[in-house]
Amino acid sequence: MKGVKILIVGGGIGGLTATIALRQRGFHVEVVERDPAWSVYGVGIIQQPNVIRAMSQLGVLDDYMGAGYGFSHVDVCGWDGTRYARVQTPGLVEGVPANLGVARPALHKVLGQRAIASGGTVRLGETVKALDQTADDVLVTFSNGTTARYDLVIGADGTHSSVRQMLFPQEPGPEFTGQGVWRYNFPRSPEVDGIVTYQGEIGVGFVPLAEDLMYMFVTTPEPGNPRYPREGLASCLRQKLRSAPPQIAKLTPLITDDDAVVYRPLEHLLLRGALLGDAVHTCTPHLGQGAGLAIEDSLVLAQELAEADTPEEAFENYRDRRFERCRYIVESSRAICDGQLGKRPPVDHAKAAHDMLVLTAQAI
């Protein structure tokens, strides 16, 4: 398909990598993003070998690796701090570390700048209110009352996707898992030169983001899916960590800034649909592949749209190529979550991580 005009709904990781991938193949791309400030919350993200490979294919590898902290291992520790496994991560791109820890604002800056430099355009402070599909195109009504026609619309607008609700109103929304995740940034400790996880009643660990920065993640049972007010979040997180391992406990007093605490309930969703990223396959963070799946989606969708004769053919091929890989990650991540909550036998996290790396090393 040539000369196709595409609207991407959502200017996050999936939307921006899709813009870059589609522009590489000559498509006209416009992004609509509801946040007028185009901001992201200020904690980190883990990027694994398949993501490093995907970023190389997108042509952003140098800027991307320069924005974070590269490493090639994961330490798995007991609750007392004893390390009982170091999982070496084989890389998929020669000459660079296998993994990257990167602050979300830094990643967003790299992708946003490259998306715009590639020729993509971004509409900020707007969203899509209605989609009217005809035989030839899609009439889009925006939140400011304007309309425009596009050949294709791609939903990359996250877990609570409005595009998904418009396209598949009969489908249930994301399911709450019973667990939530907390994140907080700290100055990096020298021993945190890769992912460090502690296995116990709650999931907790560290990820390096830069020479002087790391973040802590904590997964906790959250019966009833409570909503925490912003005021008091730091105190609440300290309370969640009252029986933490020694390496965590010594940092707990530093958790003082309510605005720096990021909490979100963990949700689960898997659909077959013409969407990408969390909009179509929301997974918990236990295997660190949520953003990676979105980035892979972008590459596959761009390739299929470039090679297919019709949008219908492209979307069908895209779904066929992505569904089983995404299903495995979504369900395996959920199994770890359920094991931590006592809903099923505990999962060997080191083995699950190894199996995930073997799968995601395969070509997309």
pLDDT tens digits, one per residue of 149-163 = 999 999 999 999 999
- Other C-beta atoms closer than 10 Å to the C-beta of 301 total 28
In a domain, 195, yes or no: no
Alpha-carbon gap, residue 280 to 133, rounded angstroms: 20
Q: How far apart are CA 75 and CA 71, in angstroms?
A: 11
- Is 16 inside any structural domain? yes
Indicate whether 219 belongs to any domain: no
Q: Is residue 197 part of a domain?
A: no
* Encoded amino acid at 98, one letter: A
Cα separation, 181 vs 179, in Å, equals 7
Q: What is the mean pLDDT of the chain?
A: 94
pLDDT band at 247 (very low <50, low <70, confident <90, very high): confident
Query: Is residue 216 a part of any domain in this protein?
Result: no
pLDDT attached to residue 65: 97
Which pLDDT value is given to residue 131?
94
Greater model confidence, 41 or 90:
90
Question: Which of the two residues, 87 and 97, has the higher pLDDT score?
Answer: 97
Rounded to an integer, what distance in angstroms lies between the CA atom of residue 313 and that of residue 244?
A: 52
What pLDDT sits at residue 151?
95
Separation CA 4–CA 39 (nearest Å) = 29
Q: What pLDDT is stored for residue 203 in this prediction?
A: 85
**Where is average pLDDT lowest: 80-89, 183-192, 285-294?**
80-89
Look up residue 147 and give its two tokens. 């309309």
CA–CA gap between residue 50 and residue 364 (Å, rounded): 9
* C-alpha distances in Å from residue 33, one per residue of 29, 37, 64: 13, 9, 22
- pLDDT for 273 equals 60
Secondary structure of residue 341 in the 3-state scheme: coil
Domain membership of residue 303 (yes or no) is yes
Stronger pLDDT, 199 or 209, i.e. the higher one: 209
Indicate whether 287 belongs to any domain: yes
What pLDDT, on a 0 to 100 scale, did the predictor assign at position 195?
94
pLDDT at 275: 94
CA dihedral 318, 324, 325, 329 (to 10 degrees): 130
User: Band of the pLDDT at 297, cuts 50, 70, 90?
Assistant: very high
Dump pLDDT digits (tens) for 329-362: 999 999 999 998 999 998 888 789 889 999 999 9
Mean pLDDT of 164-192: 93
110 occurs within a structural domain: yes
pTM: 0.94
Query: Whole domain around residue 320: which residue ranges?
Result: 5-174+266-361
Q: Could you report the per-residue pLDDT of 4-37, keeping only the tens digit for each? A: 999 999 999 999 999 999 999 999 999 999 999 9
CB neighbours (10 Å) of residue 314?
Answer: 23
CA distance 111 to 125: 19
d(CA 138, CA 158): 21
Q: 138-142 and 147-150 as β-strands: parallel, antiparallel, unpaired?
A: antiparallel
In angstroms, the CA 327 to CA 324 distance is: 5
Please give the average per-residue pLDDT across 27-51, as a whole number: 93
* pLDDT tens for each residue of 248-259: 999 999 999 999
CATH number at residue 154: 3.50.50.60
Cβ atoms of 206 and 189 within 8 Å: the answer is yes
Q: State the Cα–Cα distance between residues 85 and 107, nearest whole angstrom.
A: 29
Contact 236, 228 (CB under 8 A): yes
Give the sign of the dihedral formed by CA 287, CA 19, CA 183, CA 90: positive
Who's near 80: CB < 8 A, 6+ residues apart? 245, 246
User: Which segment of 7-21, 54-68, 107-121, 259-273 scores lowest on mean pLDDT?
Assistant: 259-273
Residue 10: is it exposed, middle or buried by C-beta count within 10 angstroms (0-12/13-18/19+)? buried
Q: Which residue has the tokens 């590489």?
A: 24
Q: What is the pLDDT of residue 272?
A: 64
Residues 6+ apart with CB under 8 A from 361: 49, 50, 90, 92
Question: What is the number of domains present in the chain?
Answer: 1
pLDDT more than 70, % of the chain: 99
